[in-house]
């Protein structure tokens, strides 16, 4: 095991898959000479060359279309958007082409496409560069959505995503890149669609994903000082969700708080609450499932305001305490 950053884990996963399979290539803005907006692909151009590390024009719709076609032709493209907000420019290619081609053509083609993109707030990048839009794609049949929270998870899940024969939105929160964690030196894969228990507990469950899962861990530590033993379940994958893990944890503790950075209304929290409410776990609940997501406003530029419109450890703690009253 080695302790590495989340950014290094992403870079290592990409390099290993490109070395393993010559059909894997990458394309996006400033990926080559510049090394990526956040430095993930620094040095890749020297090793893999311009045929496999492709700097593109500022045209997400254009190069996403190229990637969809290449995937259908047997390649395994990995697209990078500088910011996840820019998916809006390529929505038709993602939701009407990549997501549906395999189904509409009766399985004659597959679309092994991974779209990597930094998501979320916390960098002062304002309303058009700080959104959490993952829920959009959870609503589209034919797409998978992955949002890992740790270096270990991001490496294992990214390698699995690249080997998948389906289109995948792979979100990497900007504030996670500098976080550190232990990662095996030997190769490993993690299954897409399986949640992970980050902290065992018996009094309540906090369900989350991505950066907010780490905030939930901090909130659980605060709750422990009050004698409350909180379990933290990291979803890891949003589509498909791990229904079995969600239901098992809800049955175990009887109290569930779901928290995420994306806007609360019509969000992942509502789906998780519905899964619990429609299962046998409903009869184990001592309280209704509580949701806690982002405020229903664009992300402000002001750092002080930006901090307060998404869940933080102290506000997750407060929501948990309110649930237990």
CATH number at residue 274: 3.40.50.920
**Ranges of the chain whose pLDDT falls below 50:** none
Cα angle, residue 226 at apex, residues 225 and 229 outer, rounded to 5°? 85
What's the DSSP call for residue 85?
G
Taking the alpha carbons at both ends of the chain, their separation in whole angstroms is: 42
- What pLDDT, on a 0 to 100 scale, did the predictor assign at position 320? 98
Q: Is residue 253 part of a domain?
A: yes
Domain end residue (candidates: 183, 209, 224): 183
C-alpha span between 255 and 285 (Å, rounded):
6
Range of the domain at 36: 2-183
Domain end residue (candidates: 183, 214, 242): 183
C-alpha span between 175 and 309 (Å, rounded):
16
**Residue 176 and residue 284 in one domain:** no
Question: 143 to each of 70, 218, 271, how far by Cα in Å?
Answer: 17, 31, 17
- What pLDDT, on a 0 to 100 scale, did the predictor assign at position 179? 98
**Residue 8 and residue 130 in one domain:** yes
Number of helices (H), then strands (E), in the chain: 12, 14
- Of the listed 129, 139, 173, 308, which one is catalytic? 129
What's the DSSP call for residue 37?
T
- What pLDDT, on a 0 to 100 scale, did the predictor assign at position 269? 98
**Residue 221 and residue 144 in one domain:** no
Secondary structure class of 59 (helix, strand, coil): coil
User: Is this prediction's pTM over 0.95?
Assistant: yes
**Residue 56 and residue 8 in one domain:** yes
| Residue 129 annotated among the catalytic residues of the structure | yes
| DSSP element (H, E) containing 207 | strand 204-208
């Amino acid at each position: 095991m080695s302790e590495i950053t989340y950014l290094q884990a992403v870079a290592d996963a990409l390099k290993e898959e490109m070395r393993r399979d010559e059909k894997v290539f990458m394309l996006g803005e400033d990926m080559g000479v510049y090394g990526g907006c956040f430095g993930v692909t620094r040095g890749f151009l020297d090793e893999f060359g311009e045929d496999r590390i492709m700097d593109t024009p500022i045209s997400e719709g254009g190069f996403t279309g190229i990637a969809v076609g290449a995937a259908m032709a047997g390649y395994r493209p990995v697209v990078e958007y500088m910011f996840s907000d820019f998916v809006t420019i390529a929505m038709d290619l993602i939701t009407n082409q990549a997501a549906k081609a395999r189904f509409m053509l009766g399985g004659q083609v597959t679309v092994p496409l991974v779209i990597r993109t930094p998501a979320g707030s916390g960098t002062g990048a304002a309303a058009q560069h700080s959104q959490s839009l993952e829920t959009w794609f959870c609503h589209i049949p034919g797409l998978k959505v992955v949002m890992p929270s740790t270096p270990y998870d991001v490496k294992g899940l990214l390698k699995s995503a690249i080997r998948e024969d389906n289109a995948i939105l792979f979100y990497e929160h900007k504030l996670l890149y500098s976080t550190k964690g232990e990662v095996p030196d030997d190769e490993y894969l993690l299954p897409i669609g399986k949640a992970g228990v980050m902290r065992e507990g018996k009094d309540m469950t906090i369900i989350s994903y991505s950066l907010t899962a780490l905030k939930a861990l901090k909130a659980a530590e605060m709750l422990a000082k009050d004698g409350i033993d909180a379990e933290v379940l990291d979803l890891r994958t949003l589509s498909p969700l791990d229904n079995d893990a969600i239901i098992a944890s809800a049955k175990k503790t009887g109290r569930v708080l779901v928290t995420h950075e994306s806007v609360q209304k019509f969000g992942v929290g509502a789906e998780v609450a519905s899964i619990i409410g429609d299962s046998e776990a409903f009869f184990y609940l001592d309280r209704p499932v509580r949701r806690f997501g982002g405020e229903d406003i664009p992300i402000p530029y002001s750092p002080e305001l930006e901090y307060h419109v998404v869940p933080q450890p102290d506000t997750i703690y407060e929501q948990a305490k309110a649930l237990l009253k």
